Structure 1
Amino acid sequence: MTDEPPTASSAAPQGQPQYRPPDPEKGLRGSISATLVLEALTVLLAIPVAKNTGAGTGTLGVIAIVVLALLMIAACGYVRKPWHPWAVAGLQVFTIAGWAISAPLGVVGIVFGVVFAFIFWFGYEYRRRARLGLLPGQTPVDRPGTSAADGDR
């Protein structure tokens, strides 16, 4: 017997899953992935609209719409990467540029761009509050110019 604390690899019996610490941003990543899938479906639903409005959309326009939707679905696998906000922003730019194919596609890009702006702002605000210790369940952090006695007034 040794006095060393058990490590993650030795603590779990063979065949048992190892313990992973909780990840508070998992829900945020899930929201981003779900929104990307919803946007991909909405973009695909723009195909009949694009074909039947205005001068109609040709084969290349339909292929561009399908490729854009596939890229959105593929982007769901990369939401853990630190560069994923830039990839999502790039997809929004391409969706808004889809206005050249069909105006409703550009409108979809603007609407989902606003949705993603809110999601990324929520993530920023969560990280800011976590850093300051303002989340429920966290112990308050003394900020400069305040003291623990100020809360008793």
Structure 2
Amino acid sequence: MTAPNQPDPWKSFRGVMAGTLILEVIVVLLALPVVSVFHGGLTPLSSGYLIGMAVVLALLSGMQGRPWALWVNIGMQFVLILGAFIDVTIGIVGIIFLLVWVLIAYLRSEVKRRQDRGLLPGQQ
């Protein structure tokens, strides 16, 4: 008799990262009307920055299987935080999502640690 297929914890982890990026795309695009109403309105720079960030984040959501994906996601948060020079609310969104990505990085290290010790539910 063969052993049943073991669940892949990294497959679901990639889904969490891709889903978080899609959520971030939605939030970044929802910043467009906020920026247009407050702080002097939309400029070509602020519009291009927000739409460009949304496109890059959406493209990154399809690359979450790569080993470098988590670190690029965290790096993109610093690019988003730099948007505070365009509008403060963009920087605030970047800080919030940076905290989310730091938590995801911690969870990744915890799953890796448990996997190395054989403590995941599928390994017992």
**Higher RCO (CA < 8 A, seq sep 6+):** 2
RMSD of the TM alignment (CA)?
1.6
Partner of 1:112: 97
CA distance in 2, matches of 1:54, 1:121: 35
Deviation at 1:55, TM superposition (A): 2.2
Structure 2, gaps ≥5 residues long: none
Partner of 1:86: 71
- Match runs of 1:128-143 below 5 Å: 128-139=113-124
1:53 matched to 2:38:
yes
SS of the residue corresponding to residue 31 of structure 1 reads: helix
Contact 2:82-2:91 within 8 A present in 1 as well: yes
TM-score (norm 1): 0.73
Structure 1, gaps ≥5 residues long: 1-19, 140-153
Partner of 2:110: 125
TM-score (norm 2): 0.88
Give 2:38's aligned amino acid.
T
Q: Flag the structure with larger Rg.
A: 1
CA distance in 2, matches of 1:55, 1:137: 54
CA distance in 1, matches of 2:79, 2:42: 17
1:65 matched to 2:72:
no
Contact 1:51-1:57 within 8 A present in 2 as well: yes
- Which structure has greater helix proportion? 2
- Residues 71-121 of structure 1: per-residue CA shift (max 9 Å, x gap): 000001111111112210121011111111111111111111111111111
Partner of 2:27: 42
